[in-house]
Chain A
Amino acid sequence: MKPTLRNAHWIALLCLMLTAACAALESNNAPANNNAAPAADTANANTPPTLQPAPSLTAVPPATAPAPTATTPPVPATAQPISPTAAKPAAQPAAHVEGPKLVMVSQEHDLDFGKQPQDKALVRPIRIKNGGTQTLNIESVSPS
């Protein structure tokens, strides 16, 4: 066999050995890199990084807050201030009136004379009462 052919064989064998050694080195280094930052794998790995789709931003409608009910506070009843001096009963008997009080005892029908003849002097009594708590002074009685 010629020396040139022999050399070519030896060169090919050397190349094969070199490639095998490189492959072995890469396989040995791969498990060591896993313990490191995983992000480096995406850069160093032969496989292209997988691009994850960006999270879709969906506009979330604002939470529909319940419409504020126009609840008007119940109008409280007109509270009238109660004071010792202002508190008075609605129907107050005449006997409880402070001071003198003129009360007509005669009713309206008592003051109607009805049919009367001409030129006649009519005398009628008018009954009155003191409905107060003090003396009633009758100052005058005169025709108006």
Chain B
Amino acid sequence: MDFPKVLRPGQVGTIRVKVETGKAAGPHTKSVTIRTNDPSETSHVVQFKFDVKG
């Protein structure tokens, strides 16, 4: 995964996430955990949803 290591105050960054759909058909959910030095939230979970056509 490609992501910036440092963000200054007010700066916007982009994290590129790669997800494999696999062979199983139907709705799926994939999660990605982002860990930072934010004292209020040291780890943030991001969920991706997709529906694999059978």
Q: Interface residues, chain A, CB within 8 Å of chain B?
A: 95, 97, 99-102, 104-105, 111-144
Q: Is the pair A141, B33 in contact by a Cβ cutoff of 8 Å? A: yes
Per DSSP, chain A at the interface is strand
- Chain B residues whose CB sits within 8 angstroms of the CB of A135 once the complex forms: 6-9
Inter-chain contacts of B8 with A (CB < 8 A): 130, 135-136
Q: Kindly list chain A residues whose C-beta atoms are within 8 Å of the C-beta of B30.
A: 143
- With A138-B6, A140-B35 already in contact, 4 other A-B pairs whose C-beta atoms are closer than 8 Å: A112-B50, A129-B7, A135-B7, A144-B32
How far does the Cβ of A104 sit from chain B's closest Cβ, in whole Å? Answer: 7
How far is A95 from B12 in the complex, measured between Cα atoms in Å?
Answer: 13
CB-defined A-B contacts under 8 Å, sample of 30: A100-B36, A100-B38, A102-B44, A115-B50, A115-B53, A116-B21, A116-B52, A117-B21, A118-B21, A118-B52, A118-B53, A118-B54, A121-B21, A122-B20, A122-B21, A123-B16, A126-B15, A126-B46, A127-B13, A130-B9, A135-B6, A136-B6, A136-B9, A136-B38, A137-B37, A138-B6, A138-B15, A140-B34, A141-B1, A143-B30
State which of B22, B33, B34, B54 has its C-beta within 8 Å of the C-beta of A128: B34
Which chain A residue shows the least CB distance to B45? A144
Q: CA A8 – CA B48 in complex, angstroms?
A: 162
Closest 8 interchain pairs by CB?
A113-B50, A130-B7, A136-B7, A126-B15, A144-B33, A144-B31, A122-B19, A137-B37
- Is B9 within 8 A of A116, CB to CB? no
